[in-house]
Amino acid sequence: MTQKGINVFFVRHGQTYFNLMNRFQGWSDIDLTEKGIADGQAAGKRLSKVHFTAAYASDLPRAYKTAQFILDENEAASPAKATLNRDFREIFFGSAEGLTIKQIAEDFDHDIDTSMVDGAIGYGDTIKKYGFDGLMDLFKKNDPLSLAENADEFNSRLQHGLNMIRQNYEIGDNVLVVTHGSLMRALANKYKSPELASKSLSNGAVSKLTFEAKKDGDVTIDLWNDTEKVW
């Protein structure tokens, strides 16, 4: 394991029923499918030899349940349970939650070209066209209740969580964070990998980033969306 910085292992939660239906979840409480449980267990087996100094999970059930499956497989004296942290929640899509990208595009009053969207693939297409932050702002703009997070609101929350990791851990520490697909896309966008931001992540996939311990230090994407590597 690298000693150049803090090793942060981000894992996307296991498959849920809304994932299966290609519907936006956001903060909605949607349970894991049987495959989703297996996704968490499989990630845990691949990471079972890694000693995690700390483990965090989004406070949404699909994330912290996945985190528990991962930690139950751990053989390296890692924490028995993850600490819940709402900074690592999914983006809040507001009134768009539960809808498909096609339905969302139709509701957005021509802000999104409906001819270019089709299920989960269309989400990546819209990110390519409008940019990740631009698309988040469209969710806010078109939410009749103005509940959805815009890019500034979400990025501020995410940065708070990342700062917490930098402030509390040292070079060589391994930190587990079980989180969500769009949050992972936001990380890719933030760390200058917009092409990765437009691509879907597999449920239970591991992405490893190295954070320089100092504030505003460099971040390196070492591994992305991996479902095979055994550590």
Please give the annotated binding residues, written as ranges.
12-19, 62
Chain centroid offset of residue 13 CA: 8
Q: How far apart are CA 27 and CA 141, in angstroms?
A: 18
Spatial CB neighbours of 25, under 8 Å, sequence gap ≥ 6: 16, 18, 19, 62, 90, 93, 97, 98, 180
Which residues carry a binding-site annotation for substrate?
Answer: 12-19, 62
165: number of Cβ within 10 Å = 19
Q: Give the count of beta carbons closer than 10 Å to the beta carbon of residue 81.
A: 12
Residues with active-site annotation: 13, 90
Residues 6+ apart with CB under 8 A from 143: 94, 95, 96
